[in-house]
Amino acid sequence: MIDSHCHLDHEPLLSDLPNVIKRSKDVGIKKLLTISTSLESFSRIKNIIDKDEMIYGTIGIHPHETNDEIINSDNIVKNFNENPKIIGIGETGLDFYYNNSDKDKQIKSFNEHIKASIETNAPLIIHSRSAEEETFNILNDYKDKDLKILMHCFTGSKKFAEKLLDLNAFFSASGIITFKNSLELQETFKFLPLEKILIETDSPFLAPVPNRGKKNEPSFIDYTAKKLAELKEITKSQLVEITTNNFNKLFS
């Protein structure tokens, strides 16, 4: 298995990293992709990726951080190129749910990350919440650039997913698909092609059932894999093989 999106630089994972890594390996995880959310986060990630050969990282600014931090594409590219274990651009995107950050700054930051993704040919890890139309319109502006798109922790509508498939996007399922009230999302993942699906924890957030309410960690991805296999009517081992191949294809 591969956890395509976790935050190992967040507590309580950071202070317990050796045990987190061990438990990950114990359930069969082969790679962990720890995601940058700010420049401070990225500085921690640069140290974390040296802790074990299974850990890789990204460079990016989360939309919630764009009030205080804007990074231009040149700086993203520079940081990406300086370390071979930095393999993705993000987490970036748009989040208009709380209305507590400047939309124009989010959009500007998103475009800078997209430009860096194009220049490096690296996957773009996208966070989209309460911004489906805006997210799609921006991505669609670059439809001729062969973007490598990964919709992280996808919770969008089926209609949004259909439009993103036209842009050759991949979709990552988190522990949310195990929640009893996520029936619409489950139907969307039933619809999505197997060759376009990855799995993630987004740990330490969004722990799957039966650990909902606890601090999440990469080893809990096993529950998400089991649920997604059930939705896709295949075995867990088949699901793991497919999502692992999808990750390796996207991040080749």
Q: Residue 86: which CATH number?
A: 3.20.20.140
pLDDT value of position 101: 73
pLDDT value of position 90: 96
Q: Which residues partner with 124 through β-bridges?
A: 89, 149
pLDDT value of position 181: 95
Q: Which of 30, 34, 61 is nearest to 45 (CA)?
A: 34
d(CA 189, CA 19): 32
Rounded to the nearest integer, the mean pLDDT of the chain is 97
Q: How many domains would you assign to the chain?
A: 1
The predicted model gives 182-196 an average pLDDT of 98
Which residue range is the domain that position 84 belongs to?
2-250
DSSP state of 208: P
pLDDT in tens, 54-112: 999 999 999 999 988 889 999 999 999 999 999 999 999 999 998 767 999 999 999 99
Please state the length of the chain: 252
d(CA 118, CA 112): 10
